[in-house]
């Protein structure tokens, strides 16, 4: 490395390259997939899907740079603190990574938009949105680096995102279009033609963020940041929740003590956040109608509203519900508590050296996390359900073109017509499905910690396959590839995937039983659970009107293969991967 600047840039590139790749692949892949889905649809659906694809390539940039936060093990403050002892000015230590991350965010958006343009023909906006993505990134970086106070960070990020959301909504929905949503692709070149003052504002945001960050990091470097004297606040809301939940540790058994450990350190704080979000959804819903009525009655505001009744606060609860679900699923991902610090991923030696079996430990962690996640999701779902009547039908017609509120009775009736067995099946499918979700993420996280290179290669290969399929669909639409070829490729891919999960499941069980990681009775229990899941799945398919008797066996096999093997595969993958990361 010839200069400190190059060394810093190399370090940031090294830390963020995988995240940059998945942000690009995920945004573009999801966007192309959504566009491909709408090829045979009506024009209005195609337009709607194009808008969703645009949102899809923007969303990965709203979560910030997770790999940089990981350098700090999620703690607040400047993540490249190891440079404090190097003879480099703070402005350089801060400015170079900040500029790099901002430029890469904008570049990822631009490449994604160009890919979507090439595959769909829609004029996905380039520079205007890329510039705002850069602005949001630079604000996010400033918020997370300049202070160790988590509340300040969260407030800055929420404010920036909310302001960006409100401005974009105001601009994109400025023209009311009858029988369509307000920003169809044909209007994008006009709608996204920001005035030059926007770019001046973005430049100012950049300069201000840089200045604030340099000042904040300089204080941290000197060790006199005011958050230093408040150690209890350093861990943020999560640490505060962990401290607040005062439950004594049981000493009667190792299993109870471990359950206490997982509940106190992860489960209960997650559940509390879920319940808090559910309460916020309900509260906002309760006050939204009067506030909207008051705003609509205001002559000044009403003049700027293009329709008879605008939705201000009432649009927040449905979006907040979706956001809450994503947040909870995100919080439920790391059931094995795998830590990351300065490029190293590991489980703590403290837990790993407790005299508890790897399988018992893994299963206990998964069950605690799943139970708390399920309870949180139920709270959010119940809150959203109770909120529907408070928001009114008109909102849903405006947002999604369907009177969702009035359709809720249809859903009620559908659940009511299910027999007791079918309702039990629904509960089993939802419960086991959630455990599978938690276990899959935990297992993959452990595998990534242990075999990061191989997992990255496998994930990249899968994403490339997905992209290849999307391009094949585009080629078919343009007449370059015949439908028969596409069909043959899809059938081959489906059977390859089926063979892969069967093979992987057999290998995992063989490996676990040979190493005595799993006891035969555990394997038997997993088999019984998978059988129950398949039976429940079949009951629900039957309730949905699927006639198994009239179907060929290959169709039935392909329909039941995944429900049977996914729980089996997951039930072996989770303890196996935990054992691999515990006994490296």
Partner 1 sequence: MGQTVVEVNDLSRSFGSKRALDGVTFHTMAGQVYGLVGANGAGKTTLLKHLLGLLRAATGSVRVFGLDPVRDPVGVLGRVGYLSEERDLPEWMRIDELMAYTQAFHPTWDASYARELIDTFGLDPSKKIKELSKGMRAQAGLVTAVAHRPELLILDEPSSGLDAVVRRDILDAIVRTVTDDGRTVIFSSHLLDEVERMSDHVTLIHQGRVALSGVLDDVRGSYQRSRLHFVEHLVQPPVLETAMVIEGGGRTWSVVHSGSLEQFRRAVVARGGEIVESRNATLEEIFMARAGRSRQVEAA
Distance CA 28, CA 466 (A): 10
Q: Report the nearest approach of partner 1 to the CB of residue 21 (Å).
A: 23
Q: Report the nearest approach of partner 1 to the CB of residue 71 (Å).
A: 18
Q: Does 356 bind partner 1 (CB under 8 A)?
A: yes
Cβ distance to partner 1 smaller for residue 251 or 550: 251
Binding mask 54-93 for partner 1 (x = CB under 8 A): ----------------------------------------
Distances (CA, A) of 219 to 78, 82, 214, 225, 268: 11, 15, 9, 5, 34
Distance CA 156, CA 427 (A): 40
CB-based contact 254:356 (threshold 8 Å): yes
Q: Does 23 bind partner 1 (CB under 8 A)?
A: no
Cβ distance to partner 1 smaller for residue 383 or 579: 579
Question: Binding segment for partner 1 among 7-15, 241-249, 475-483, 549-557 (CB under 8 A)?
Answer: 241-249
**Packing angle of the helix pair 358-391, 420-450 (nearest 10 deg):** 120
Distance CA 276, CA 201 (A): 35
Residues 333-352 that bind partner 1 (CB under 8 A): 348-352
Quick one: which of 95, 128, 211, 235 contacts partner 1 (CB under 8 A)?
235
**Packing angle of the helix pair 316-331, 358-391 (nearest 10 deg):** 180
Quick one: which of 121, 189, 250, 542 contacts partner 1 (CB under 8 A)?
250
Q: Does 237 bind partner 1 (CB under 8 A)?
A: no
Largest Cα–Cα separation, the chain: 76
The SS3 call for residue 341 is strand
**Beta-carbon contacts of residue 23 (< 8 Å; ≥ 6 apart):** 60, 61, 108
Residues 204-233 that bind partner 1 (CB under 8 A): 231
Quick one: which of 3, 190, 252, 409 contacts partner 1 (CB under 8 A)?
252
Quick one: which of 43, 482, 515, 519 contacts partner 1 (CB under 8 A)?
515
Distance CA 269, CA 291 (A): 32
Q: Does 260 bind partner 1 (CB under 8 A)?
A: yes
Question: Binding segment for partner 1 among 177-185, 204-212, 237-245, 278-286 (CB under 8 A)?
Answer: 237-245
Nearest residue to 70 via CA among 452, 349, 353: 452
Cβ distance to partner 1 smaller for residue 359 or 379: 359
What number of chain residues touch partner 1 (CB under 8 A)? 36
Residue 342 φ/ψ region, left for φ over 0, alpha for ψ in the -120 to 50 degree band, beta for the rest: left
Q: Does 251 bind partner 1 (CB under 8 A)?
A: yes
Distance CA 34, CA 56 (A): 9
Question: Binding segment for partner 1 among 94-102, 143-151, 235-243, 500-508 (CB under 8 A)?
Answer: 235-243
Q: Does 159 bind partner 1 (CB under 8 A)?
A: no
**Which DSSP symbol is given to 547?**
-
Question: Binding segment for partner 1 among 219-227, 247-255, 306-314, 370-378 (CB under 8 A)?
Answer: 247-255
Q: Does 353 bind partner 1 (CB under 8 A)?
A: yes
**Token pair of 358, please?**
């790897």
Q: Does 300 bind partner 1 (CB under 8 A)?
A: no
Q: Does 416 bind partner 1 (CB under 8 A)?
A: no
Distance CA 33, CA 36 (A): 5
Nearest residue to 473 via CA among 26, 27, 35: 35
Cβ distance to partner 1 smaller for residue 195 or 248: 248
Nearest residue to 15 via CA among 452, 433, 422, 540: 452
Q: Does 409 bind partner 1 (CB under 8 A)?
A: no
Q: Does 584 bind partner 1 (CB under 8 A)?
A: yes
Q: Does 248 bind partner 1 (CB under 8 A)?
A: yes
List, in sequence order, every residue forming a beta bridge with 521; answer none if it has no partner.
none
Nearest residue to 33 via CA among 21, 17, 49: 49
Question: Binding segment for partner 1 among 15-23, 104-112, 238-246, 548-556 (CB under 8 A)?
Answer: 238-246
Interacting residues toward partner 1 by CB under 8 A: 231, 234-235, 239, 242-243, 248-254, 256-258, 260-261, 264-265, 348-358, 515-516, 582-584
């Amino acid at each position: 490395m010839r200069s400190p600047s190059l060394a810093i840039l190399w370090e940031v590139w090294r830390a963020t390259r995988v995240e940059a790749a998945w942000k690009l692949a995920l945004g573009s892949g999801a966007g192309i997939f959504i566009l491909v889905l709408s090829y045979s649809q009506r024009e209005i659906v195609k337009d709607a899907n194009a808008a969703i694809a645009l949102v899809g390539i923007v969303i990965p940039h709203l979560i910030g740079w997770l790999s940089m936060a990981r350098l700090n093990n999620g703690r607040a403050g400047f993540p490249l603190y190891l440079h404090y002892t190097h003879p480099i000015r703070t402005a350089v230590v801060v400015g170079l990574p900040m500029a790099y991350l901002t430029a890469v965010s904008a570049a990822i958006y631009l490449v994604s938009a160009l890919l979507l343009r090439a595959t769909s023909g829609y004029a996905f906006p380039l520079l205007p949105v890329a510039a705002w993505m850069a602005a949001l990134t630079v604000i996010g970086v400033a918020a997370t680096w300049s202070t160790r106070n988590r509340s300040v960070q969260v407030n800055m990020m929420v404010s920036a995102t909310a302001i960006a959301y409100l401005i974009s909504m105001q601009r994109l929905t400025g023209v009311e279009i009858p029988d369509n949503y307000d920003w169809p692709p044909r209007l994008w070149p006009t709608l996204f033609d920001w005035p030059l003052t926007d770019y001046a504002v973005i430049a100012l945001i950049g300069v201000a963020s840089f200045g604030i960050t340099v000042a904040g990091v300089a204080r941290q470097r000197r060790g006199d940041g005011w958050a230093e004297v408040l150690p209890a606040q350093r861990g943020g809301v999560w640490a505060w929740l962990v401290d607040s939940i005062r439950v004594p540790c049981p000493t009667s058994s190792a299993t109870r003590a471990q359950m206490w450990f997982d509940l106190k350190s992860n489960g209960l704080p997650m559940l509390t956040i879920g319940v808090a979000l559910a309460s916020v959804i309900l509260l906002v819903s309760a006050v939204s109608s009067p506030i909207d009525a008051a705003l609509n009655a205001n002559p000044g505001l009403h003049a700027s509203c293009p329709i008879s009744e605008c939705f201000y606060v009432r649009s927040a609860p449905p979006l907040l519900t979706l956001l809450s679900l994503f947040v909870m699923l995100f919080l439920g991902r790391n059931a094995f508590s795998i830590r990351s610090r300065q490029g190293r991923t590991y489980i703590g030696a403290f837990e790993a050296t407790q005299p508890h079996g790897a399988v018992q430990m893994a299963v206990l962690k998964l069950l605690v996390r799943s139970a708390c996640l399920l309870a949180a999701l139920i709270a959010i779902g119940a809150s959203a359900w109770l909120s529907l009547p408070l928001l009114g039908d008109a909102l849903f017609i405006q947002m999604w073109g369907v009177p969702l509120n009035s359709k809720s009775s249809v859903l009620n009736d559908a659940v009511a017509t299910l027999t007791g067995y079918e309702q039990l099946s629904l509960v089993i499918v939802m419960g086991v499905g959630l455990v599978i979700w938690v276990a899959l993420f935990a297992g993959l996280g452990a595998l990534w910690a242990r075999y990061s290179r191989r997992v990255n290669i496998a994930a990249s290969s899968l994403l490339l396959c997905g992209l290849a399929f999307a391009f094949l669909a585009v080629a078919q639409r343009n007449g370059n590839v015949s439908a028969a070829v596409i069909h043959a490729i899809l059938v081959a891919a489906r059977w390859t995937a089926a063979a892969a999960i069967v093979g992987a499941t057999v290998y995992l069980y063989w490996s676990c039983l040979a190493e005595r990681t799993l006891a035969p009775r555990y394997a038997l229990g997993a088999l019984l659970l998978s059988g129950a899941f398949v039976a429940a799945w079949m009951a629900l398919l039957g309730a949905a009107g699927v006639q198994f008797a009239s179907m060929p066996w290959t169709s039935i096999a392909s329909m039941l293969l995944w429900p049977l093997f996914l729980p089996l595969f997951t039930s072996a993958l989770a303890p196996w991967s935990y054992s691999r990361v515990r006994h490296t």
